[in-house]
């Protein structure tokens, strides 16, 4: 009898094991739900975006490399002008320039917070940067409209609306993201790298420049790419200062347009199922593919960084 009771106790799942199975089930369900939602978003956007080419018979080459964007105007063959190249170029130019401007400031702030003066960096600089993260996009857009645009107009001429104004606004918006990710990368550098460099007679600045920044380079690149992805997908703030003129930019001070600005302005003014509506979904599909490309680049850089640390 005692042997049977003991065998029953040993074979009956304990409370902890049941809780563990329940936790695994909840985790698996949440993971499956996330994957399902992402897959549905991809399928939905792809279905809508590809309708431009399969239903409306628009040439993909003309769409990606055409220079005229007038969905409501048709040419001699009865086809509307649906060239997305001006918006694609505008998005890339604004994104790349804002990342180029933000990267030195972000690295400088990160080095100050981690190596030069961690105490004052944590007390003064970090709260200021955290405040920038919490400011809504529309506030950045209003500040850009009231401050940046008049400044660009007075210094460089023109209307003030254009890529340069968008670069200044996006620079401030992505600066906190790049800074905090760079700080994490610098703190992840093994401490014995710094100690070995100082022990060999290198100065503090030589150690920072040639050892710490060099070791944290994959993480810094990841931070820059993440900031570029943030800038590429920004809509409201850039729409308010870029000028929203769907032409190929000829200078930094002339009005231009981005994928997100055209999407936000046009999606509410079209009828579902028309070519004007489908082509906007095609722009959203291009935007989605670029976001996926940014994520893939970040994963590759992160993987290379882990290999370097392992060595």
pLDDT, one tens digit per residue, over 64-100 is 888 888 877 777 677 778 888 999 999 999 999 999 9
Kindly report the average pLDDT of the chain as a whole number: 85
Residue carrying the six token digits 């022990």:
199
- Predicted pLDDT at 105: 93
Residue carrying the six token digits 């960096």:
121
Q: Are 298 and 222 in contact (CB under 8 A)?
A: yes
Structure tokens, 148:
């940046």
Mean pLDDT of 20-31: 86
Highest mean pLDDT among 1-10, 11-20, 120-129: 120-129
Percentage of the chain beyond pLDDT 70 is: 90
Among 18-22, 217-221, 242-246, 250-254, the least confident range? 18-22
Nearest to 95 by CA among 306, 293, 308: 293
- Predicted pLDDT at 5: 59
- Predicted pLDDT at 94: 93
- Predicted pLDDT at 306: 58
Does the global pTM surpass 0.75?
A: yes
- Predicted pLDDT at 13: 60
- Predicted pLDDT at 307: 60
For the domain 84-309, what is the CATH superfamily, name and number? MetI-like (1.10.3720.10)
Res 215 pLDDT > 80: yes
- Predicted pLDDT at 52: 87
Q: Which residues contact 280 (CB under 8 A, 6 or more apart)?
A: 262, 263, 266, 267, 270
């Amino acid at each position: 009898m005692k042997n049977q009771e003991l065998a029953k106790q040993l074979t009956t799942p304990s409370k902890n094991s049941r809780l563990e199975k329940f936790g695994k089930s909840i985790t698996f369900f949440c993971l499956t739900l996330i994957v399902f939602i992402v897959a549905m978003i991809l399928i939905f956007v792809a279905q809508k975006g590809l309708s431009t080419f399969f239903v409306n018979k628009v040439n993909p080459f003309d769409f990606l490399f055409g220079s005229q964007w007038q969905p409501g105007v048709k040419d001699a063959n009865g086809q509307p002008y649906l060239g997305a190249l001006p918006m694609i170029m505008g998005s890339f130019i604004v994104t790349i320039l804002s990342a180029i401007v933000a990267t030195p400031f972000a690295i400088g702030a990160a080095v100050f917070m981690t190596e030069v003066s961690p105490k004052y960096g944590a007390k003064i600089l970090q709260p200021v940067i955290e405040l920038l993260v919490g400011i809504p996009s529309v506030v950045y857009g209003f500040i850009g409209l009231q401050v940046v645009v008049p400044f660009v107009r007075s210094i460089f001429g023109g209307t003030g609306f254009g890529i340069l104004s968008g670069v200044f606004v996006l620079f401030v918006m992505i600066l906190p993201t790049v800074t905090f990710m760079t700080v994490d990368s610098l703190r992840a550098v093994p401490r014995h790298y710094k100690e070995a460099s100082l022990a060999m007679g290198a100065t503090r600045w030589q150690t920072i420049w040639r050892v710490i920044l060099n070791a944290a380079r994959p993480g810094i690149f990841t931070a820059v790419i993440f900031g570029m992805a943030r800038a590429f997908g920004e809509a409201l703030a850039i729409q308010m200062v870029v000028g929203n003129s769907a032409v190929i930019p000829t200078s930094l001070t002339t009005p231009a347009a981005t994928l997100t600005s055209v999407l936000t302005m046009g999606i509410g003014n079209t009828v579902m199922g028309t070519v004007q509506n489908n082509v906007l979904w095609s722009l959203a599909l291009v935007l989605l593919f670029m976001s996926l490309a940014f994520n893939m680049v970040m994963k590759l850089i992160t993987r290379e960084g882990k290999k370097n640390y392992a060595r």
